[in-house]
Copies of this chain bind each other. A is one copy, B any other.
Amino acid sequence: MARKLGIFFAIFCILLTSSLADWNILKEYKTTNSGLKISLKNYCESWRMNVELHNIKDYVVIPQECVSYIAKYMTSTQYKVDSERTIDECIFHLSTNCILGKDRKDAWIFDIDDTLLSTVPYYKQNGFGGNKLNVTSLEDWISQGKGTALDHSMKLFNHLKELGVNIFLVSSRKEHLRSPTIDNLVHVGFYGWTSLILRGQEDECKSAQGFKAEVRSKLISNGYRILGIVGDQWSSIEGLPSAKRTFKLPNPLYYVA
């Protein structure tokens, strides 16, 4: 009996603690324009959802009150599951419709940051999206080659290699970061791509979307069929020419136009 009571009390304490930990984020935060009473979690979740729906664009920082919510998401199991599902859909797409050709001209495009390599370790040390981006500091971090592999993307990357699909890495990183970028990619296990395309000086005034669309245009005029693109930013996958399918990984941390 005493043991049962003990277990019951332990469960009670766990529930109470976990409930109180969420209390701050769950209690009433504000009333919306239409009169809905919402919690901070409601607010931040709707912000994140509308970022992923691409209704909210061009933000420079995460709303200050949502920084800890976004930090929690980006380091959660949910972020991993969401990303893994995106990659599973890529693999499913590759398995259907006999899309592979026999002329070795099939191509797939990957973004790098937060598609192959996680920048979460950087943002963890730098305000988690709540501070305006300091390009110099981010580039310093990149040149240390400390980006960690996103495991789900590694699975797709290796699958594409097995299928004989040409892999193109198209990133907004600048040319002077080529060497640490290659080191970082190879070090964590990404190798065997066809080409790594970074922003040269002539591309610096272009938007990321414009630069990436031009790259696709060149690939197509070189005879490649772009089976798919996967990126964490809409600017990596929107614009013409496009691919047979595009896939957007979740990433509310920052916005690249």
| Residue ranges of A at the interface with B (Cβ–Cβ < 8 Å) | 12, 15-16, 18-19, 32-34, 36, 38, 42-43, 45-47, 49-50, 52-56, 77-78, 80-82, 84-86, 88-89, 151-152, 155, 247-248, 250
Contacts and interface: CB of A to CB of B under 8 A. Distances in A.
A152 B12 CA distance: 40
B12 A42 contact: no
Contacts of A52: 49, 52-53
Contacts of A248: 53-55
B49 A250 contact: yes
Contacts of A80: 34, 36
Contact of A42 (B33, B36, B56, B78): B78
Given A19-B15, A56-B89, A46 B152 contact: no
Contacts of A38: 77, 81
A145 B248 CA distance: 37
Contacts of A49: 52, 82, 85, 250
Contacts of A19: 15, 18-19
A86 B12 contact: no
B15 A84 contact: no
A254 to B, nearest CB: 17
A50 B15 contact: no
Contact of A81 (B42, B86, B247): B42
Contacts of A85: 46-47, 49-50, 55-56
Most buried by B among A12, A78, A152: A78
Most buried by B among A50, A82, A86: A50
Contacts of A88: 33
Contact of A12 (B12, B46, B155): B12
Contacts of A45: 78, 81-82
A248 B53 CA distance: 6
A89 B55 contact: yes
A50 B93 CA distance: 14
Nearest to A249: B53
Nearest to A55: B89
Nearest to A240: B240
Report, nearest first, the 5 A-B pairs whose CB atoms are least far apart.
A46-B81, A46-B85, A55-B89, A53-B248, A46-B82
